[in-house]
Structure 1
Amino acid sequence: MEALFDVKHATLSEHITNILASGELDDTSVGFSDKSSGGRKPKIYNLDMILSVGYRVNSKRGIAFRKWANNVLKQYIMKGYAINERRLQALEKTVDIQSRMLADALDIEELLDS
């Protein structure tokens, strides 16, 4: 999360400690330790903790995260859904390619039948 929000480890730890101390989230449900070769076991946090920290950090990346999260939330509330534009464009390209391939295959069949 340090890289995600562009904050120092101490800042991140402070926010996590405050989130847990306030009862906003429960320590037993937000993360788990991962074994690493460095001897230190880094904690991996779930989406609840990432969102909570994202709404607390005061960095450019934190601000960008909040703008993004608010936009997605607003779309869900207003439309009932949010659209992933990249996936939609990829799907449209796939459908276009498959349509052209099908049209070409049908043209070939027509030529062979005549």
Structure 2
Amino acid sequence: MSDLIIYNTPDGKSSIALYAKDGSVWLNQTQIAELFATSKQNIGQHVSSILKESELDADSVVKNYFTTAADGKNYNVTFYSLEMIMAIGFRVRGVRGTQFRQWANRNLTEYLRKGFVMDDER
């Protein structure tokens, strides 16, 4: 992948690695499930619904990348763009979804435009 951005949940229970590439941020279903504190199956259902309803176009929000797993083998893994992550967040409707959307609106837009974000809270 490319640049790495770390999102820490406000409750401190999770730290998610977001990958910035091609003008967006990318996560796989397992990472999105952790981000929104839900199951991978639930995320898969939301992805299917979003694409079936033509809310988003798969060609612009879904990409496959080869990633190296803990076993040292390369696997073709499906990743989803920030647009898809946000759309899923609206459907999940949890506190974590709201917290991530607020953080993303404050930080990711600036990062993707400028290539950096100043962490003023520190």
- TM-score for the superposition, normalised by structure 2: 0.51
Partner of 1:15: 46
Q: Secondary structure at the match of 1:34?
A: strand
Q: Kindly state the Cα deviation for residue 60 of structure 1 after the two structures are TM-superposed.
A: 2.8
User: CA RMSD for the aligned pairs?
Assistant: 2.9
> What runs of 5+ residues in structure 1 fail to find an aligned partner?
73-83, 91-114
Separation in 1 of the partners of 2:118 and 2:66? 36
The corresponding residue for 2:98 is 63
CA gap of 1:86–1:42, structure 2 versus 1, over 3 A, is same
Deviates more, 1:46-55 or 1:32-41: 32-41
Determine if contact 1:32/1:45 at 8 Å carries over to the other structure.
yes
Structure showing greater radius of gyration is 1
Deviation of 1:40 after TM superposition, in Å, equals 4.6
Q: CA deviation at 1:32?
A: 0.7
The match for 2:64 among 33, 57, 60 is 33
Secondary structure of the residue that 1:7 maps to in structure 2?
A: coil
Aligned to 2:87: 52
Higher strand share: 2
2:119 aligned with 1:86: yes
Q: Per-residue CA shift, 1:69-91, capped at 9, x if unaligned? A: 6x75xxxxxxxxxxx7724x77x
